Amino acid sequence: MPTIDREIHRFQEFLLHQGQKLTKERTALVREIFGTHYHFEADELLFKMKQKSVKISRATVYRTLELLVKSGLVRRVHLGEDHYHYEHVRGDSHHDHLVCTACGSVIEFNDPELEQRQLEICARKKFTPTFHNLQILGVCDSCRRKGEQPASPDRVMSIGEGAMRLRK
Amino acid sequence: MPTIDREIHRFQEFLLHQGQKLTKERTALVREIFGTHYHFEADELLFKMKQKSVKISRATVYRTLELLVKSGLVRRVHLGEDHYHYEHVRGDSHHDHLVCTACGSVIEFNDPELEQRQLEICARKKFTPTFHNLQILGVCDSCRRKGEQPASPDRVMSIGEGAMRLRK
DNA sequence: TCGCAGCTGAGACTTAGTCTCATCCATGCC
DNA sequence: GGCATGGATGAGACTAAGTCTCAGCTGCGA
Ligand SMILES: [Mn+2]
Ligand SMILES: [Mn+2]
Ligand SMILES: [Zn+2]
Ligand SMILES: [Zn+2]
C-alpha cells in the first residue's frame, strides 16, 4: 500500500520538523488507522492493536492520536456520544455528520450553503469563527424502513464496531 | 419570585404524573437553577448549593437534572468542553451557540434559514432528523478588540463561573 | 396520621483520558 | 557501523465526570 507509506512520510516530516521521532509504535498506528478504520475510537484502536499482537500502551495511543491531529492527518470529532471519535482527513474537505441513533451508522455531508449561512450568522453577531461542530441525530433510511424508532436524544446506539472493553 | 413558583409547579405536575415526588431537595434545585444560572454545569450547581449550606448530594443533583431534562424545563447541551452544560428552557425556542474560546462567553442564536437548510440536507440523504447539536467556536467581538487569538479548537477557556473543585 | 413507594446521602464504582518515571531507542554525528 | 542523548515508551497511578448501591428517610394519598 503505497498510499499509507505516503501518510507515514507526511507524519514523519511533521515530526522531524518539531524534533520528534517516528517510532515503530507510531508507524504501526498510522498503518492501522489509514489501512482500516473510518470513524473510530481510541479504545477501539488500542484493542485492534492488541488483537494483532502489536503491543502498544494506551498512553502511546492517546499521545499518537494527539500528534496526528496536530499534524492534520487525523481529525477528532464529536458524534453525540460521551467520548471522542477520530477520522482520517482524506484530501482535506471539512464535513459534518448525520448519525443514526438506531444502527450507529454515520453519513457525511459537506454543504457549502450551510457553511455560508453559518458565516453570515457569525458576521451578524460580530463573531470570528475558527471551528464548528455539527451533528444531526436521527434515523437513517434503512433503519426507518425497518420501522426503527428515533431514540432519545442522548442515547446513540454505539457507533462503529464497539471496541470491546480492555481494562478489567 | 412568582415565576419560579410556576416552574416548580410545572415540575411537580410532571413528577406526579409519573408517580414521583417533589422533595425539598428538588425544590431547592429548581429554585437555584431558575433563579440564577444560565449555562451551568452540574458540579457548579452542586457547589452553589454547598455555598448556601443547602446540603444536597451529587447523586441528587444529577438525578434531578435528568428529571428536569425529561420534563422539558431544562436542556442539556454540549458547548465544546469535555462535560455537559445545562440551560433552562425559557418559552421553548431551540437555539444553537457561538462559544468564545478566549473568554468563555456564549452567544445564542436561532436562525430559521440554517435550520431549514439542515432539513433539506437530511431530505437529500433520506435521513429523518430528531435532534441536532451545533456549536461554533471562535472569538467574540470584545475579545477580538482586545487582540485575543483564537485558541486551539479543543481548548475552550472555561465557560461560566468555573465551579471550584468539590472533591478532594 | 400512617404506610410505603419513592427519595436521599455517602461513597464505591466506571469510563475516558492524563500523568509519572524508570527504561528504551531513533536519529544525527563521528 | 558505533555512540550519545533527548525524545518515546509502558505500566499503572491518577483525575474528571458521571453512575450506581443500599440502608435509612420522607412526601403524599388514603
Ligand atoms: Mn467524518
Ligand atoms: Mn443556550
Ligand atoms: Zn440506521
Ligand atoms: Zn470572548
Question: Is A167 among the domain residues?
Answer: no
Q: Tell me: do A83 and A1 sit in the same domain.
A: yes
Contact between residue A29 and residue A61 where contact means Cβ atoms under 8 Å apart: yes
Of B91, B108, B124, the residue that ends a domain is B91
Mark whether B47 and B130 lie in a shared domain: no
Based on the fold, state whether residues A11 and A83 are members of the same structural domain: yes
B82, B108, B116, B121: best mutation site toward chain A, by most A Cβ within 10 Å?
Answer: B121
Does the pTM surpass 0.85? The reply is yes
Distance from CA of A165 to the nearest CA of B (A): 21
Q: Is the distance from CB of A80 to CB of B84 less than 8 angstroms?
A: no
A112 at the B interface (CB within 8 A)?
no
pLDDT at B58: 97
Query: Is strand C in 7 Å reach of the CB of A42?
Result: yes
- Mean pLDDT of all residues belonging to chain B: 90
pLDDT below 50 — which residues of chain A?
Answer: 163
**Chain B residue numbers touching A157 (CB-CB < 8 A):** none
* Residue-level pLDDT, tens digit, chain B, 168 residues: 568 899 999 999 999 999 999 999 999 999 999 998 889 999 999 999 999 999 999 999 999 999 999 999 999 999 999 999 999 998 767 999 999 999 999 999 999 999 999 999 999 999 999 999 999 999 999 999 998 777 665 555 567 655 566 675
The per-residue pLDDT for B2 is 66
Task: Give the cell for residue B28.
Answer: 431547592
- Number of separate domains in chain B: 2
> Tell me, what's the pLDDT at B63?
98
Task: Tell me the ligand closest to B110's alpha carbon.
Answer: 2
The answer to whether the beta carbon of residue A19 comes closer than 7 angstroms to any atom of strand C is: no
| Residue B60 within any structural domain of the chain | yes
- The reply to whether A132 and A153 lie within a common domain is yes
Tell me whether residue A168 is in a domain: no
Residues 59-118 of A with CB under 7 A from strand D: 59-60, 63-64
Q: pLDDT value at position A152? A: 61
CA separation, residue B110 to residues B81, B89, B95 (Å):
21, 14, 5
How many beta carbons lie within 10 A of that of residue B158, not counting itself? 11
Question: Same structural domain for residues B7 and B77?
Answer: yes
Q: What angle do CA A50, A54, A60 make, to 5 degrees?
A: 85
- Is there a contact between B129 and B121 (Cβ–Cβ < 8 Å)? no
Residue B120's domain spans which residues? 93-160
Can you give the pLDDT at residue B93? 79
The string of DSSP letters for B23-54 reads -HHHHHHHHHHHHT-SSB-HHHHHHHHHHTT-
